[in-house]
Amino acid sequence: MSAPNIVWTRIDERLLHGQIRITWGKHTEANLILVANDEAAEGPNAAFMQAGMKASAGGEYAVRFFSIQKTIEVIHKASPKQRVFILCNTPTDVARLVEGGVPITHCNVGNMHFHEGRRQIAKTVSVNQQDIDAFERMVKLGVSCTVQNTPEQTPVNVLELAQVGA
For the annotated catalytic residues, the residue numbers are 17
Residue type, 10: R
Are residues 71 and 89 in contact, defined by beta-carbon separation less than 8 angstroms?
Answer: no
Rounded to an integer, what distance in angstroms lies between the CA atom of residue 70 and that of residue 132? 25
Are residues 147 and 161 in contact, defined by beta-carbon separation less than 8 angstroms?
Answer: yes
Would you give the end-to-end CA distance of the chain in angstroms?
Answer: 43
Rounded to an integer, what distance in angstroms lies between the CA atom of residue 125 and that of residue 147? 8
Residues 6+ apart with CB under 8 A from 19: 110, 150
Rounded to an integer, what distance in angstroms lies between the CA atom of residue 144 and that of residue 157? 8
